[in-house]
Amino acid sequence: MAKTILIVDDSTSIRQVVSFTLKQAGFAVVEGSNGKEGLAQLDTAPRVDLIVTDLNMPVMDGITFIKHVRSRPQSKGTPVLMLTTESQDSKKQEGKAAGATGWLVKPFHPEKLLQTIARVLP
């Protein structure tokens, strides 16, 4: 059964690119435009094998979202990749402290996304 990836980002164009890339690679994709929607997806999707999340989002930002993800038993151990920009080193630290597995720096080539996912997805 195909692995499912949850992409959370308030930018529709980025979600579209990521979703397209992942689907081409054979993944199933669910989406959220902010942390709150991301959590809703976690609750309703039959499975989520990996989460890719932006950090700067309205309603619920990425760091808070990651903390929530880690506090839920079903997603405690789910790999989480943060989408960061190069100037956000401190955010990366915060993210890791909150429980993020890894990160991917924007702008990224779709190939790099797939490579990074391969690193954290068993």
Partner 1 sequence: MKVDINNFRETFFQESTEHLAEMEAGLLRLDQGSFDPELLNAIFRAAHSIKGAAGMFGLDDVARFTHALESLLDQLRSGGITVTAKLTDVLLRANDVLRELLAAAAHDSAAPARMQGVLEELLVMQRAGALPDKERAQVRQTDRTQPQSGTQTFCVQFRPAANSFSQGMDRLLILRDLAALGSAGASPELDLGKLPSLDDLDPERCYLAWKLRIATSKTSAEIQDVFAFVEDGAEIRIEAEHQELEAAAQPAPPPPSGQAARDASIRVATSKVDKLVDLVGELVIAQSMAHQIVRNFSPARLGELQEAIAQMERHIRELQERVMSVRMLPIGHIFGRFPRLVRDLSIQLSKNVRLEMAGEDTELDKGVVEQMSDPLTHIIRNAIDHGIEPGDERASNGKPEQGLIRLEAFHQAGSVIVEISDDGRGLDANRIRRKAIERGLIAESDSLTEAQCCDLIFSAGFSTAEKVSDLSGRGVGLDVVRRNVEALNGSVTLVAQPGHGTRVRIQLPLTLAILDGLSVRVGKETYVVPLVAISESIRPREEQVKTVAGRGEAVMVRGEALPLVRLHRLFGIQTEVVDPCRGLTVIVEHAGHRFALLVDELLGQQQVVIKSLEAHYRKVEGVLGATILGDGRAALILDAAGLAQISRRNGEDLRAA
Q: Among residues 44 and 90, whose Cβ is nearest to partner 1? A: 90
Minimum distance from CB of 93 to partner 1 (Å)? 8
Site string for partner 1, 101-120 (x = CB under 8 A): xxx-xxxxxxxx------xx
Q: Among residues 28 and 121, whose Cβ is nearest to partner 1? A: 121
Tell me if 87 contacts partner 1 by CB under 8 A: yes
Tell me if 76 contacts partner 1 by CB under 8 A: yes
Which residue in the set 17, 28, 29, 60 belongs to the binding site for partner 1 (CB under 8 A)? 17
Tell me if 28 contacts partner 1 by CB under 8 A: no
DSSP of the chain, one letter per residue? ---EEEEE-S-HHHHHHHHHHHHHTT-EEEEESSHHHHHHHHHHSS---EEEEES--SSS-HHHHHHHHHHSGGGTT--EEEEEETT-HHHHHHHHHHT--EEEEES--HHHHHHHHHHH--
